[in-house]
Amino acid sequence: MKFIIKHEIEGRLRIHAVQGIMTCEQADTLCWFLEQQENITDAKVYERTADAVIRYTGSREEMIAVLQGFCYEKTEVPENVLASSGRELNSSYREKLILKTLLHYGGKLIVPYPVRKAWMTFKAMRYIWKGVRCLAKGKIEVPVLDAAAIGVSVFRGDFDTAGSVMFLLGIGELLEEWTHKKSVGDLARSMSLNVRKVWLKTDESEVLVPSSAVHPGDIVVVHMGNVIPFDGEVYAGEGMVNQASLTGESLPVRREKGKTVYAGTVLEEGELEILVKAVSGSTRFEKIVTMIEDSEKLKSSLESKAEHLADRLVPYTLLGTGIAGVVTRNATKALSVLMVDFSCALKLAMPITVLSAIREAGQHGITVKGGKYLEAVAEADTIVFDKTGTLTKAKPTVVRVEVFGDVPADEALRIAACLEEHFPHSMAKAVVDAAKKKKLYHEEMHSKVEYIVAHGISSYIDNRKVVIGSSHFVFEDEKCTIRPECRERFSALPAEYSHLYLAIDGELTAVICIEDPLREEASDMVRMLKKEGISKVVMMTGDSERTAASIAERVGVDEYYSEVLPEDKAAFVEKEKSAGRKVIMIGDGINDSPALSAADAGIAISDGAELAREIADITIAADDLRELVTLKKLSNLMMRRIRKNYRGIVGINSGLIGLGVAGVIQPTTSALLHNSSTLAISLRSMKNLLPEEKENSVYSKSKTY
């Protein structure tokens, strides 16, 4: 690709592609290509100017070489990326707005007045008909007010006022529709499936392969707690599938041989072999869009109240018009009241504010599944953290393996990895990664694996029962024992590490010591959350008392609880809610799912289990926990903007009504100012809530490459 560097600072380039008109498809292709490069951290492509802004790491020369090697024809973009792109949507709505504005103002200059009058009368009939239909249903709502204002203006022969009202109403409808579709599209894209590897069933065993290598007709194996990667049919096995992401059903449904399953749903219990029917992600995207658009989850309580208030105010506006007419005996002054109403701005500005906040959260790697969850975060005063993979780093590591039986350390690690690789948890990943580093590869040598949530795993190898998991699971539930000569060494295990216990045939074989480093930003994050209005920070973990106390002190939480089970976390959340507190729960594992569901806002860390991400109301993709503070700030600012909009709408429109009744302004001016203020508030509501980072230019240059 030939390009010109238009502007440059360290780690950032703005380039211009030397070509003709850049199509939306070309822009999406270039953007996708740039995002796939390891040294590029962020990329934006602007098709109207054929420009791209790129943030990168590494050397400038490497970046230029990457750009020079790009070619539209040779870049294979996944079908769902182009199908779900919102770029064409934005372009079409920009063109609609420009065309509508040109036709309105250009028509005044070119079209003769008698023709315009006939056209305005024809257009007015659409609004009047909407108002009549509303009245026919026994409702006095916004369409009645619009119909009255436009109808009275046409009846009085004031076609300029009628035209201005209809133009501004049309602009408002377009902006609302555009913002809604864009926000829903952005949200759906962030919720779309992103499964990189799947278990493919072969004649011999299960093989972990890239999802791109799977084709219709293949059989994939899905273990408990994992997402179903493709639309298909159950070939073998049975399980309980959580379909909330597509259907909104809160309870899982049973799926057995012959039943259909859908991509993006999550297997809560059991194990399924699935005959793949479709591998494209675009159908899932369409399902998500439909689900979001039909769901009441998008509405915050303030948004719903604003809509109801808007409709309730309509009769009072009509009554005010009548009173103004009777008292002043002046139709012009009465019309000034009719031209101004509170409902239009309330019904337009509030949803735009909420949807824009959801869109902005997406820009920070935060997926919010509905406006009411942002409101819940804003109102929250209590936050509950799971420890492992949340307050601690998502990539714990195996420090050493302590042997307590006849099995060598490497063999114990190999057995542990063989069992753990089937289940999504950060501890399991640590064991699997440690085995890979030591090149302890294995074939599937065990029988069916049983996973006991928050406890451990049980299976059989060569007819010998093998269990791996927590101390409670291995010693209390499974009644495993320790050799007498090993008990002193067992008591001396280092407390600073998390321990995973492996037992064979009822006897402890090995203890895997796992270091789970605390996130560097954890204490800063807690301090900043308190500054933003959180009064109580709680940590809950299944780890021992000593480990929990050490972490809690370093993080600075107000309370901590150790050796807790999933039901304990959920019970604590319910207890806090019953005490009148608003609770946020943050976790990353299957064992956090009950608490995530119980909280006012459940937040999942994206590196965690798929089930946690599906059940959670908000998902954070960032590596830095301080994005939680960003979420809290964004939520607080959204609520502040909603209240500010409310005060502005009431203040401006009350002032306009007063000026109209006093005869200071004419109905035409009143309508223009009312609709202009509504449009201005709506446009302001579309702006980002968080301040943008300013960049200082190092140098600018233009050079063709």
pLDDT of residue 401: 93
- Choice among 236-245, 379-388, 666-675 with the minimum mean pLDDT: 666-675
For residues 151 and 177, the model is more confident at: 151
Sign of the four-CA dihedral 132, 133, 137, 140: negative
Average pLDDT for 126-137? 90
With a cut of 80, say whether residue 16 has pLDDT above it: yes
User: Side chain identity at 232, as an amino acid letter?
Assistant: G
What percent of the chain is predicted at pLDDT more than 70? Answer: 83
For residues 173 and 397, the model is more confident at: 397
Q: 197-280 in CATH: which number?
A: 2.70.150.10
* Helix intervals (H) in 461-544: 471, 487-491, 522-531
| Dihedral of the alpha carbons of 561, 563, 569, 575, in degrees to the nearest 10 | -50
The pLDDT tens digits for 70-110 are: 998 888 776 666 766 778 888 888 888 889 889 888 888 88
With a cut of 90, say whether residue 537 has pLDDT above it: yes
Query: If DSSP states are collapsed to H, E and C, what string results for 361-377?
Result: HHHCCEEECCHHHHHHH
With a cut of 70, say whether residue 196 has pLDDT above it: no
Q: Provide the strand spans (E) within 394-546.
A: 397-403, 450-452, 456-461, 464-469, 498-504, 507-515, 536-540
With a cut of 80, say whether residue 427 has pLDDT above it: no
Strands 601-605 and 583-587: parallel
Residues 660, 336: Cα–Cα separation, whole Å? 5
- Choice among 337-351, 502-516, 619-633 with the minimum mean pLDDT: 337-351
Three-class DSSP category at 234: strand
With a cut of 60, say whether residue 493 has pLDDT above it: yes
Reported as a pLDDT band with limits 50, 70 and 90, residue 629 is very high
With a cut of 50, say whether residue 606 has pLDDT above it: yes
Average pLDDT for 671-700? 70
- Inter-residue contact 350 to 307 (CB < 8 Å): yes
Tokens read off for 664: 């200071």
| Dihedral of the alpha carbons of 232, 234, 236, 239, in degrees to the nearest 10 | 120
Residues 12, 63: Cα–Cα separation, whole Å? 10
Residues 224, 415: Cα–Cα separation, whole Å? 20
The pLDDT tens digits for 644-665 are: 888 888 888 888 888 877 878 7
- The per-residue DSSP string of 462-483 comes to TTEEEEEE-HIIIIIIS--B--
Residues 107, 321: Cα–Cα separation, whole Å? 31
Reported as a pLDDT band with limits 50, 70 and 90, residue 532 is very high
Tokens read off for 79: 């079908």
Average pLDDT for 175-190? 66
User: How large is the C-alpha radius of gyration of the chain?
Assistant: 31
Task: Supply the pTM of this predicted model.
Answer: 0.65
- Inter-residue contact 591 to 604 (CB < 8 Å): no
Tokens 């979420």 belong to which residue? 631
Q: What are phi and psi of 361, to 5 degrees?
A: -60, -40
With a cut of 90, say whether residue 422 has pLDDT above it: no
Tokens read off for 281: 């992600």
pLDDT of residue 245: 57
pLDDT of residue 697: 41
Residues 376, 45: Cα–Cα separation, whole Å? 34
Nearest alpha-carbon partner for 434 in 484, 477, 395, 398:
398
CATH number of 366-392+518-621: 3.40.50.2300, 3.30.300.160, 3.40.50.1000, 3.20.20.70? 3.40.50.1000
Reported as a pLDDT band with limits 50, 70 and 90, residue 700 is very low
The fold adopted by the segment(s) 397-515 is Calcium-transporting ATPase, cytoplasmic domain N (3.40.1110)
Reported as a pLDDT band with limits 50, 70 and 90, residue 580 is very high
Average pLDDT for 520-527? 90
Sign of the four-CA dihedral 16, 19, 21, 24: negative
Residue 489 burial by Cβ neighbours in a 10 Å radius (0-12, 13-18, 19+): middle
Q: Is 264 left (phi over 0), alpha (psi -120 to 50) or beta?
A: left
Average pLDDT for 60-78? 86
Q: How many CA atoms lie within 13 A of 699 on its CB side?
A: 3
Domain 3-77 has CATH 3.30.70.100: yes
What separation in angstroms does the CA of 213 have from each of 82, 220, 267?
Answer: 20, 11, 22
Q: What is the mean pLDDT of the chain?
A: 81
Indicate the domain borders of the chain: 3-77, 91-188+298-354+637-685, 197-280, 366-392+518-621, 397-515
Q: What are phi and psi of 510, to 5 degrees?
A: -160, 160
- Inter-residue contact 525 to 629 (CB < 8 Å): yes
With a cut of 90, say whether residue 129 has pLDDT above it: yes
With a cut of 70, say whether residue 300 has pLDDT above it: no
Nearest alpha-carbon partner for 703 in 15, 1, 201, 12:
15
For residues 248 and 585, the model is more confident at: 585
DSSP 517: P
Nearest alpha-carbon partner for 436 in 449, 417, 409, 419:
417
Reported as a pLDDT band with limits 50, 70 and 90, residue 574 is very high
Q: How many CA atoms lie within 13 A of 335 on its CB side?
A: 23
The CA angle 563-606-452, to the nearest 5 degrees, is 40
Residue 253 burial by Cβ neighbours in a 10 Å radius (0-12, 13-18, 19+): middle
Q: How many CA atoms lie within 13 A of 391 on its CB side?
A: 26
Reported as a pLDDT band with limits 50, 70 and 90, residue 558 is very high
Reported as a pLDDT band with limits 50, 70 and 90, residue 250 is low
Sheet holding 536-540, edge to edge: 366-368, 618-620, 601-605, 583-587, 382-386, 536-540, 559-561
Strands 498-504 and 197-201: unpaired
pLDDT of residue 664: 81
What percent of the chain is predicted at pLDDT more than 90? Answer: 17
Q: Provide the strand spans (E) within 525-645.
A: 536-540, 559-561, 583-587, 601-605, 618-620
Average pLDDT for 205-213? 78
User: Side chain identity at 657, as an amino acid letter?
Assistant: I
pLDDT of residue 699: 44
With a cut of 60, say whether residue 412 has pLDDT above it: yes
pLDDT of residue 242: 76
